[in-house]
Structure 1
Amino acid sequence: MTRSIGYSRCSTTHQDTDAQVTELGSAGCQEVFAEKVSSRAPLEKRPQLRRCLESRQEGDELVVSKLDRLGRSQGGGDQPSLRSPDQGDLCRAS
């Protein structure tokens, strides 16, 4: 069974992820991981994104409100992989 797993991020303590979390729930996400961290932070400093990626099972999809929630340069070497050899594309924007 395919699950939709959401990831929400904002950069500063003056922002919150509430609107993103609501949007992800409306998009059908059964679980949402949220954190306040810079988009430039490497994966090892983004515990909720790590947990989100580690929780995926075959057939699951990662859902974000906007692709920049994952990071500023999706092509950068320090950004998480959005593809899997077995599963193809793993990410969609809500």
Structure 2
Amino acid sequence: MDLKIILLFCILPCIGVVFVTWLLRFPWPWFLKAMIGFEIVIAAFSMLIEIDAQRTPGNSGWMMMFAAAFQVYLVLMLFLARLIIWQGQKRD
């Protein structure tokens, strides 16, 4: 795979998750910073594996698919967590 494609599919989902986290407005100021750090680690890890997988024919692309699926599940968990937090704040 080309390096541009690897950067696109590793960085773009991470930016999307950070944007969704910002959009949900969690009540703790450290949460967005923690998610940014977590996404940097995920992006670096998946890019490292994808760049290394370029050496083996037919082996690259799997980590990007796993990372994309992980990002989708992470966004769903963020929505669920924010919904639970809103319900808890409503009761108080």
TM-score (structure 2 length as normaliser): 0.23
Quick check: which one's strand share is greater? 1
Higher relative contact order (CA 8 A, sep 6+): 2
Larger radius of gyration: 2
Quick check: which one's helix share is greater? 2
TM-score (structure 1 length as normaliser): 0.23
